[in-house]
Amino acid sequence: MSYLSLSTWSLHRNLGPLNWTIWDEDQNKHSIRAEPQPETITLLELPAILSSKGYRAIEICHFNFPSTDSDYLKKLKSACEEANIMFNTLLLDYGDITTDDEIRRHADISLIKNWIDIASECGAKQIRIIAGDASPENEAALVRSSEVLNDLIKYANNLGVRIITENFHSLTATADNCIRLVNNCNEELGLIADFGNFKGENKYEEIEKILPFSQSVHAKPDMDSDGIPDEEEFRRCLDQLVAANYNGPINLIYDGPGDMWEGIERVRKVVDSYL
């Protein structure tokens, strides 16, 4: 049976500064750009709050980590365990494993491995890796991505962490590319289906194609300027979960204006009828 999960992106205006990873082309190295945001709750408080609201799991974006030292990671793991909240996915929101820039690619792979280590230490079941920023028509990039993902899978397996990717960024802008990557990794690669990331008239057909390969779903509705979901459109996406006999986390995504908890509840109101 499917169950409720929440992505910390849905609270990105509540959890304090967003620590974005960027690539400094002048110095050929990574740096952190902190984007100020209010901290109305801490990340360590969030699992207990979610448990009280009936959630069973959480996804945490890498830029929401205020610290990655061992003491903090142990506290985060304990916070999830004590609240009986599964830390389902660490969402790494940086990295281009298909770039032609060898210096950056090797640096990005090293950074990804470091975040795999972090995922293992704080108890995350899996880590989302972006498959690449190359064009979806770039066959060489698809091969390169597959090779790197296979290497990362071997690395992560030794730490008890699963590698999962998503229809997110340009290389995986088509369902066919998502499925090819899964097959190229002997189906050891997991997949997140995000309702909001496929665009155009083929959106629903593309979602339908990847759902049989997906272990997680981002339930992201289209919204108007006031953050009100297009319920008819959203239900069309959710109906596909039923048709595909999907059984896994449904991660609520709200990125509209106004109070984020209120926005999350508007999304949840529609999703609840599918649980």
- Mean residue pLDDT of the chain comes to 98
In terms of C-beta distances under 8 Å and separation of at least 24 residues, what long-range contacts does 31-39 make, across chains too?
37/12, 37/13, 38/13, 38/14, 39/14, 39/15
Residue 16 has pLDDT above 90, yes or no: yes
Enter the tokens of residue 162: 């699963």
**pLDDT tens digits, one per residue of 62-104:** 999 999 999 999 999 999 999 999 999 999 999 999 999 999 9
Residue 201 has pLDDT above 90, yes or no: no
Residue 210's CB is within 10 A of a number of other CB atoms, namely 25
Average confidence (pLDDT) over 143-155: 99
pLDDT at 216: 99
List, in order of start, the domains of the chain with CATH numbers. 3-274 (3.20.20.150)
Closest Cα to residue 91, out of 201, 12, 28, 30?
A: 12
pTM of the model: 0.98
